[in-house]
Structure formats: structure tokens, C-alpha cells
Amino acid sequence: MKYLLLICAVESETVGPHQHLDHPPPDPETEDWVREMDARGIRTFGTALRATSTATTIRVRDGETLVSDGPFTETKEQILGFDLIECEDLEEAIAVVSRHPVARYGTIEVRPLWPS
């Protein structure tokens, strides 16, 4: 089964003084997790996202397209990145995600994909 991992944390606490950079410096623990999951054939794709300040939100209401800068919701945590993984079942996916460094200070939402 394929799963999408939405990697969420407080952006200002993880990006810190490097917010102005096009790409924040890599986190060694996360790089280790990525290398391991890639080597095991579990992680099929993933990447960090740019800062929420670069986001554009689109809504269509009553036929009118509304475009605004920034994320849709005002929440403490933001989506910082995502990964696609393939596991036997949810139990294996939970075991994989529990080893992700962000799980210790942020939130990782695990969502199964519809078969294609």
C-alpha cells in the first residue's frame, strides 16, 4: 500500500535564521532516515517545501476564483515537506514513520493513496 506522509512542524522553529535561504540546510538525522528508507525501497519520493510565505492559496466560491498569499489556514504547525512510501500495511507504515526525526517534535500525518 502506498502512503503520503505530510511532515508538519512549526516552521519558525525548524527553519530558524535560515528562512531567507532558497533551501534550508539539511538536517543530518532526516538525511539518515531518507537514505535508509530509500535503500530499503520504502520511500519512493519526497522533498522539503519552501517557506509558507511563498505559498499561494486558491479557492473558488460561487464561480469566483479567490487567490491569496500564504497558507490557507492560520495554524501553529505548517506542512514542511512530504514523502511517498510503500509498505505492506499501516502497521509497517507506522513503524517507518515513528523513526522519522520530525515525529519527535512535530506531526506526521499518514494518508493511504487510492490505487491507481
Identify the pLDDT of residue 12: 72
Q: Give the residue numbers spanning the domain of 75.
A: 2-16+25-112
CATH of the domain at 104: 3.30.70.1060
pLDDT in tens, 1-29: 999 999 999 887 655 444 444 556 678 99
Domain count, the chain: 1
pLDDT in tens, 23-71: 566 789 999 999 999 999 999 999 998 888 888 888 899 999 999 887 6
Residue 55, SS3 per DSSP: coil
Q: Which amino acid is at 30?
A: T
Determine contact, residues 15/105, Cβ cutoff 8 Å.
no
